[in-house]
Amino acid sequence: MITHEIFPRFYETDAFGHINNTVVAGWFETGREAIFRIFSPDLDPSRMNLILARIEIDFVAQIYYGHEVEIRTGVERLGNSSFTVCQEAWQQGQCVARGRAVQVYFDHGSQRPQPLPGAYREALAALMENKP
């Protein structure tokens, strides 16, 4: 499992005084950065053969400004050309959001999915052991 600390910013709050739901998708993307580095260590977009096919987020509890949030990231499933990332956001000892993202290994030239190469598959499989 990969963990990442987020410090909510004031402008991420909404009229109700808590973190706006739209912000969590961005936090989860930030939490996936370590996975992106498996495919491109320097995060060079021209060498990152990944596309995002799907995201889903369940909002479990309100998230508040003024308290850090821990994003926990792991891999839930490995397919032939895709994999599912599972994520949770925790604040003050409570899970406040859960999400999944389906990433596809993609050849931008042919505009087609490609099978996940072995080295990438092994690195992702290691993240399945301690998923959130």
Of the candidates 116, 82, 88, 129, the residue with the CA atom closest to the CA atom of residue 102:
82
> Residue 115 domain-assigned?
yes
pLDDT at 130: 75
Domain containing residue 107: CATH number: 3.10.129.10
> Residue 132 domain-assigned?
no
**Cβ neighbour number for residue 125 with a 10 Å cutoff:** 12
> Residue 49 domain-assigned?
yes
22-49 pLDDT tens trace: 999 999 999 999 999 999 999 998 888 9
Q: Are 77 and 84 in contact (CB under 8 A)?
A: yes
In this model, does residue 16 exceed pLDDT 90? no
**Residue 49's domain spans which residues?**
2-126
> Residue 131 domain-assigned?
no
User: How, if at all, do strands 82-91 and 94-107 pair?
Assistant: antiparallel
Number of domains present in the structure of the chain: 1
> Residue 113 domain-assigned?
yes
With cut-offs at 50, 70 and 90, classify the pLDDT of residue 15.
Answer: confident
Quote the pTM value: 0.91
> Residue 57 domain-assigned?
yes
pLDDT at 52: 96
